[in-house]
Amino acid sequence: MPTSPRCRRPEGSDVVTLPPTGVLSPDLKTSGTHHGSGCFTRCHFHFANDAVEVGDTVRVVGGHPSLGNWDYKRGLPLCIREALYPCWFTVEPAMLPLMRVTEYAYVTVGPSGNLKSWERTDAGQRVVRQVIPSGMEMTIEDDDGLYRYLLSRGTAARPQHTDTTTASGSSAGAADSASLESG
């Protein structure tokens, strides 16, 4: 199967790896002065998913201890507010190594703690994403900006953890950085 420059799919695999999210080039090499130096970026996650059933939860898992080392039971839980539906977000950040490509994915977990599903493409392939953490703190927006849009409309109180710098390096805007009343 041919692959596009935007995603990578190994032959015979049902997993699609999306290109890195971040302000750095996707061609970044994994060697450099910051690697292994103990430098981390506080990473917050936003994820839009309207297919989660009542009682289920969403977690982000990945190839780092702060993301559970791919163990969904130890993944970082995401929260949801009615006024921000269908946007899920982390309350506590993941501490990811600065300027190191980190793979991650979103999973749905049932009320009894059982793994229900991995995020999948329309073609049924499991989605694995990548991020290159940069700066002291960043927000990884896997919601096409919907979370910021809902906040800018004044539909919900802004969670205290939200940073105005997005994973793409853009500013979230004045409306997002203003304190909004609870909705």
Tell whether pTM > 0.75: no
Alpha-carbon dihedral angle through residues 142, 144, 148, 154, given to the nearest 10 degrees? -120
Reported as a single tens digit per residue, the pLDDT across 6-40 is 444 445 555 555 556 544 444 444 434 444 457 99
Region label for 45, one of left (φ > 0), alpha (ψ between -120 and 50) or beta (otherwise): beta
d(CA 92, CA 82): 19
Write down all domains in the chain, each with its CATH number in brackets.
39-165 (2.60.40.10)
Residue 84 pLDDT: 93
Residue 106 predicted with pLDDT over 50? yes
Strands 137-142 and 40-48: parallel
Mean pLDDT of the chain, nearest integer = 77
Mean of pLDDT values over 160-176: 40
